[in-house]
Amino acid sequence: MTKHVYSVAIDGPAGAGKSTIARCAAKELGFVYMDTGAIYRTVAYAAIRGGVNLGDPQAVSDFLPGISVLPQWDRNGEQHMILNGTDVSGEIRSPEVSQMASVVAAIPSVRSFLLDTQRSVACEYSVIMDGRDIGTVVLPNADVKIFLTASAQIRAKRRWLELQQKNAPDTYEQVLEEMIRRDQRDMEREIAPLRCAEDAVLLDTSDLSLEDSISAVVSLVREVISE
């Protein structure tokens, strides 16, 4: 019997293009793309609005039972974040929330709180999720696991070119140095460190265009769907 929903986990280091590739692949496959970062932003936004001290993990933990965080998708496949029944998709994109999202994401109770939310989406929809611990922690039984990577030099060049378009003053050398530091932090962090799941397909996009990278992901998923 054909399975009705499929889950795809895409992990990898910063600057590998996970979000763009996952979003485009999901659209081509007719899946939903789950922006996992948005759910952490929503918790951060709720805590800030509630006057919670984000530097106090216990205070954040005590705050969690009083909030409801749900992702929803419109007919165009765009994800909306619903906090206690209200759409806060725009509010969670502020610089302050962006900065605090990484703080709350490092709190074990927050990750546990949002784990069921992410897994329930995978039960209800055919979904592509990207992050650093999707295949290893969030969706260990995902139908397809992909570890998307590229050399630090290539990822730094891509990020630097993006910054150039925004007239940012960063040099390539600065971006590369930060990329290497970020990789080390992600791999060595205590909570959900970045690593390739044993059963994941390693996809190195160093020599691939964006279009070719998207096609590679779509092909990998279709191989499983057609089985």
pLDDT tens-digit series, residues 79-108: 999 999 999 999 998 888 988 888 898 899
Domains of the chain by start residue, with CATH: 7-31+126-222 (3.40.50.300), 36-125 (3.40.50.300)
Both tokens of 8, joined, read 């795809």
pLDDT, tens digit (0-9, with 9 covering 90-100), for 147-198: 999 999 999 999 899 889 888 888 999 999 989 988 888 888 888 888 999 9
Mean pLDDT of 99-123: 91
Mean pLDDT of 109-138: 93
Global pTM value:
0.87
% of the chain exceeding 90 in pLDDT: 71
State how far the Cα of 46 lies from the Cα of 27, in Å rounded to an integer: 30
User: Confidence class of residue 2 from pLDDT cuts 50, 70 and 90?
Assistant: low
pLDDT at 173: 94
What contacts 108, CB < 8 A, 6 or more positions away? 57, 191
Task: Please say if the pLDDT value at position 111 is more than 70.
Answer: yes
Region of residue 66 (left: phi > 0; alpha: psi -120 to 50; beta: else): alpha
Q: Convert 179-211 to b/e letters by CB count within 10 Å (16 or more is b).
A: beebbeebeeeeebebebbeebeebbbeebeee
Mean pLDDT of 10-23: 91
Mean pLDDT of 142-150: 96
pLDDT at 3: 65
